[in-house]
Homo-oligomer: A and B are copies of this chain.
Amino acid sequence: MLPWDHELAGELHHETIESELLRGNPLGDPHVRPLWVYTPPGYESDDRRYPAIYVIQGYTGHIGMWANRTPFRQPFIETADAVFARGEAPGCILVYVDAWTAYGGSQFVDSAGTGAYHSYLCNEVVPWVDAHFRTIAAPASRGISGKSSGGFGAMITPMLRPDLFGALATHAGDALYEYSYLNEFAKTVRALRDYDHDILKWWADFRGRTPFTKEHDQLLVLTLGCAAAFSPDPDGTPRLPVDPRSGELIPELWERWLAWDPIRMIDRYADALRSQRAIWIDAGTRDEWFLDLGAEAFRQGLARIGVPDERVHFELFPAAHGGIDYRYPQATAWLAHRLER
């Protein structure tokens, strides 16, 4: 196998979708979006309908990065294809959705700060895919998977829309916010000492120079983007949920973040979760955002509300947050076996 190139057994369709919901979004991001749809081997020659797995990305990811090649590894597009090509799992359609924003991401929610990315995904992308590809257009045959912020999206989207999604996979998905975000807030407060305690001053600086050349850029763009997603002002301005000098939590804003913590959503969306056929949860044991703890808490919460163990795959594996793309095809195969067809 060549490291720089690989022929797929299935086919990757580079599509474009014009979104009404993203038109005029607050950040001026494109409303004409790329959408990559993978059809498995056999799709072209038969006329069967296939389950679909929607694939979403982590923070700062955009669709173009799925094509990136890293040393000694193949991209997920190819490793997923291999799952089907080798017959390890029955064929699925994979839908690569882009929800990037100028802040680096949308958290797959509808927000005054970034745009209606949740609705875009559910009300525009899903129907478009069902209209253009031979999917089985039912929740039992539709899953969603992702890593990090994408794992978060994969947890919350089926909670909000069990009428659309009946299975999910979360790899190191954002959860248990007291561990994943508070540490970031503390570091943000320190980083902002160089910016008059004002993250928007940092943002102005960041946009005017080569990005990621200052130590705290990665941290601050994530904090800013999540603030835009979770606690924007009505006019869309991102608001940090902490005092920018001391880090003291601002309860009414922090509550808005917590309302999006998958762990804290479990009881509110218990029926939706109980309707899922298959839930894959994994994370690295050294995850820098302690998302292994979030994974464990999600698993415990599912058990508590009565999701049967046999519908859940839970695994902690020795790794940090990065470089875990080799896990994705394992979840894809597992879901492919469990989606109704």
Contacts of A160 in B (CB 8 A): none
Please, what's the 1-or-0 string for A55-99, where 1 marks a CB less than 8 Å from any CB in chain B? 000001111110111111100000000000000000000000010
Q: A247–B316 Cα gap in the complex (Å)?
A: 15
Q: A249–B297 Cα gap in the complex (Å)?
A: 10
In angstroms, how far is the closest chain B Cβ from the Cβ of A86? 16
Q: Is B248 within 8 A of A263, CB to CB?
A: yes
**Secondary structure of the A contact surface, majority rule:** loop
A30 within 8 A of B: yes
A166-195, CB < 8 A from B: 176, 178-179, 182-183, 185-186, 189-190, 193
Count of this chain's copies in the oligomeric assembly = 4
Contacts of A178 in B (CB 8 A): 178, 182, 249
In angstroms, how far is the closest chain B Cβ from the Cβ of A214? 9
Contacts of A296 in B (CB 8 A): 245-247
Contacts of A307 in B (CB 8 A): none
Q: A249–B176 Cα gap in the complex (Å)?
A: 10
In angstroms, how far is the closest chain B Cβ from the Cβ of A83? 14
Contacts of A243 in B (CB 8 A): 297, 300
Q: A281–B319 Cα gap in the complex (Å)?
A: 35
Q: Is B73 within 8 A of A69, CB to CB?
A: no
A156 within 8 A of B: no
Q: Is B186 within 8 A of A246, CB to CB?
A: no
A293 within 8 A of B: yes
Please, which residue of chain B has its CB at the minimum distance from the CB of A247?
A: B293
Q: A68–B300 Cα gap in the complex (Å)?
A: 38
Q: Is A293 within 8 A of B189, CB to CB?
A: yes
Q: A19-27, A123-131, A144-152, A205-213: which lies at the B interface?
A: A205-213
A100 within 8 A of B: yes
The CB with the most chain B CB atoms within 10 A, among A71, A73, A249, A318, is that of A71
The CB with the most chain B CB atoms within 10 A, among A72, A245, A247, A318, is that of A72
Rank and list the top 8 A-B pairs by shortest CB-CB distance, nearest first: A4-B64, A60-B71, A72-B211, A246-B297, A246-B296, A68-B68, A247-B293, A186-B290
Beyond A65-B69, A178-B182, A183-B183, 11 additional pairs, beta carbon < 8 A: A3-B62, A62-B69, A67-B67, A67-B68, A72-B211, A72-B221, A73-B211, A190-B285, A213-B318, A213-B319, A246-B300
Residues of A within 8 A of B (CB): 2-5, 30, 34, 60-65, 67-73, 98, 100, 104, 176, 178-179, 182-183, 185-186, 189-190, 193, 210-213, 221, 243, 245-249, 263, 285-286, 290, 292-293, 296-297, 299-300, 318-319, 323, 326
26 A-B contacts, Cβ less than 8 Å apart?
A4-B62, A5-B34, A60-B72, A62-B69, A65-B69, A65-B70, A67-B68, A68-B68, A72-B104, A72-B211, A176-B246, A178-B178, A179-B185, A182-B182, A186-B293, A193-B285, A213-B318, A213-B319, A213-B323, A213-B326, A243-B300, A246-B293, A247-B290, A247-B293, A247-B296, A247-B297
